Amino acid sequence: MVRKLKFHEQKLLKKVDFISWEVDQNLHEVKVMRRFHLERREDYTKYNKLSRNVRDLAQKIRDLDEKDAFRVQSTARLLEKLYAMGLINTKQTLQQCENVSASSFCRRRLPTIMVKLRMSQNLKTAITFIEQGHIRVGPEIVTDSAFLVTRNMEDFVTWVDSSKIKKHVMEYNEERDDFDLGI
């Protein structure tokens, strides 16, 4: 179906390697993907793009006149939003927006929060629990490990009521109620 390449086309294609791109040689990206067990490279690129947008927005706000009311208002709104998402620790200065990176977003993923809450020993088992449908955030069952958890939602990460793991944990802690779990 495809025509045979001409000599000059073959010669040009010898210089281009379609299998390994320059982006593949990014060691930092691979390190972050391994550390947080990201399955899809697209997730990392989205987080990287979002963090770049946050840094650019902070720089644009910083470039405004210090006494401008719009700057004060937009600084407060940006810092409040980033703090509520859990990407920064305090709402004091725009300087903290410079520290927002793809890793900041990865730290707010559901498996990482589960390890932090000691619902799982490591990220791999946390991802397995999520994909099998053992975890809910509020009333919703979450099966996507890329789910980002805000500070407010962090308190509502629990086991699904019908989960065998929840029953096992409650038996271990001697908190199992025969009426609730239905023996």
Question: Residue 172's pLDDT is what?
Answer: 82
The two structure tokens encoding residue 141: 């069952």
Query: Are 98 and 160 within one domain?
Result: no
- The neighbouring-strand residues paired with 158 are 136
Q: How many whole angstroms from its chain centre is CA 138?
A: 18
How many domains, in total, are found in the chain?
2
> Distance between CA atoms of 152 and 145, rounded to whole angstroms?
18
Q: Is residue 149 part of a domain?
A: yes
Query: Are 101 and 120 within one domain?
Result: no
Question: Residue 22's pLDDT is what?
Answer: 58
Question: Residue 17's pLDDT is what?
Answer: 63
The three-state secondary structure class of 131 is: helix
Look at residues 52, 76, 105 and tell me which one is the last residue of a structural domain.
105
The alpha-helical segments, DSSP class H, found in the chain are 7-14, 27-35, 41-63, 69-85, 102-106, 110-116, 123-132, 164-172, 178-181
Question: Residue 182's pLDDT is what?
Answer: 53
Q: Whole-prediction pTM value?
A: 0.77
Query: Are 147 and 92 within one domain?
Result: no
* Parent domain of 51: 22-105
Q: Is residue 13 part of a domain?
A: no
Longest dimension (CA), the chain: 78
Question: Residue 12's pLDDT is what?
Answer: 82
Q: Is residue 166 part of a domain?
A: yes
Location of structure tokens 């919703």: 140
Look up residue 73 and give its amino acid: Q
Query: Are 125 and 93 within one domain?
Result: no
Q: Which residues contact 91 (CB under 8 A, 6 or more apart)?
A: 76, 79, 80, 83
Q: Is residue 5 part of a domain?
A: no
Low pLDDT (below 50) residues in the chain: 181, 183
- The neighbouring-strand residues paired with 141 are 136
> Distance between CA atoms of 97 and 50, rounded to whole angstroms?
12
Question: Residue 113's pLDDT is what?
Answer: 96
> Distance between CA atoms of 24 and 171, rounded to whole angstroms?
47
Q: Is residue 168 part of a domain?
A: yes
Question: Residue 167's pLDDT is what?
Answer: 84
Query: Are 162 and 118 within one domain?
Result: yes
Query: Are 127 and 100 within one domain?
Result: no
